Structure 1
Amino acid sequence: MGMAEEIHVGVLMFTAYRSAENRIIDAARRAGYTDLTVPQARIAARIGPHGTRLTELAEQAQVAKQTATVLVDRLERAGYVERVVDPTDARARLVRIAARGAEVIAVARAEEARIEAEWSEHLGRRRMQQLREALTMLREITDPYAAPD
C-alpha cells in the first residue's frame, strides 16, 4: 500500500468498533463476569427487549444456527439468558436476557458511556455529533436490521 493510499473507511470503523468491543468485554471481566466470551457477547447483544428467536440471532450475528445454539446454551447455563415460549407462537422459543445478563448489560452500558465521552473529548462535541449523524444515515443503506422510521 503506497503512502498516498488512504485506509478504507470500513477498516477505520472496524478498528474503532473492535476497540470499543474489547473495552466492554474487559470491563465485564473486571466486574466479575469472567466466563463471558466475545462470541457469546456478540450473540447476546442482538437479543431484543422482548426476546429474539435463535434463527434471527444466528442470521444477525452471521453464524450457523448450530453455532448460535451452542453459544446460547452456554449463555443459558451461565444464567445470562433464558429460553421462553414465544407468545405469538407456542411452538417457538425466544431467547431472552435473564437476571445475570441484565447485570452485565448495566456494566457494558457504563463502559459505552465512558467510551463515548472519551471519543467526544478527543474529537470535540461537534465532530462527534456529525460522526453519529453520518453513521446513522449510513445505516439506511448498510443495516438490513435497522428498524424503519
Structure 2
Amino acid sequence: MVNVVDEMVNQVDDNAPGFELPLLLFAGFRSLIDRLHAELARQGHVDFRPAYGFALQAVGAGATASEVARRLGVSKQAAGKTIDRLERLGYVERSADEADARRKLVGLTPAGADVLARSAAIFDELRAEWVRVLGSGRVRDLETSLRTVVPSGFPLDVPGWLGT
C-alpha cells in the first residue's frame, strides 16, 4: 500500500518557487500555534493570546520591563502594555527589585507557570501527531535540517519583528 504522504513527497517539485518555502514554514508554525491556543482555551486559558506566550518566555525567571522589551524587540511602552495585560489576567506580577528599589521586577504567577507548562505538554502532543502522520525519521530530519539553516538560539522577538 502506498503511503499518501510518501506519494505527496514524490510529487515535490525541486524547482518550486522560492516564495513557497517561507509560506509553508509559516503555515506550519501557524497551524501549531492555532491548535495550541484552541487547546489552552479548552483547558481554561481562554484569554491567552500567541503574543503572551512570547512575553512569558521573555519574563522567564524574572525581568524588568526594559529587559522584556529588549528580548521581544519592542519598545518599553509596548512591553509595559503587554505586562499590564498579563498582570490583569493574572499571569505575571510586579515586585520591588531588592537590588535596586527604583526598579520593578516582573515574575510569573502560578497561572503563568501553569500556562507555560500546559503549552509545553501540548506542543509535545502536537509534535507526536506530526510523527504519527509523517513518521519519526521525517520529523527528525525536518528538525535537524532547520537547526542547520537557522541561526542558533530561539529569538523571542516575533512581536517586534512582526511590528505588533
TM-score scaled by length of structure 2: 0.71
81, 86, 96: which one pairs with 2:92? 81
Q: 13, 17, 28: which is aligned to 1:5?
A: 17
**CA separation of 1:137/1:6 partners in 2, compared to 1, >3 Å: closer, same or farther?**
closer
Q: 1:87-126 maps to which residues of 2 (within 5 A)?
A: 89-126=100-137
Quick one: distance in 1 between partners of 2:123 and 2:90? Answer: 23
Question: Identity across aligned pairs (percent)?
Answer: 33
Once residues 53 and 155 of structure 2 are traced to their aligned partners in structure 1, the CA distance between those partners, rounded to angstroms, is 20
Would the alpha carbon gap of residues 62 and 10 (structure 1) be closer, same or farther in structure 2, given more than 3 Å must change? farther
CA contact (8 A) 1:82 1:96 kept: yes
Alpha-carbon shift at residue 100 of structure 1 (Å): 0.8
Letter in 2 for 1:30: R
- Conserved? CA contact 1:47–1:57, under 8 Å: yes
Cα RMSD (Å) of the superposition? 2.6
Residue 45 of structure 1 aligns with which residue? 57
Distance between the aligned counterparts of 1:9 and 1:106, measured in 2? Answer: 31
Q: 1:65 to 1:132 in 2, by over 3 A?
A: same
For structure 2, which runs of at least 5 residues remain unmatched after alignment? Answer: 1-14, 157-164
Larger Rg belongs to = 2
Greater relative contact order structure (CA < 8 Å, 6+ sep): 2
The 1:38–1:133 alpha-carbon spacing in structure 2 relative to 1, beyond 3 Å, is same
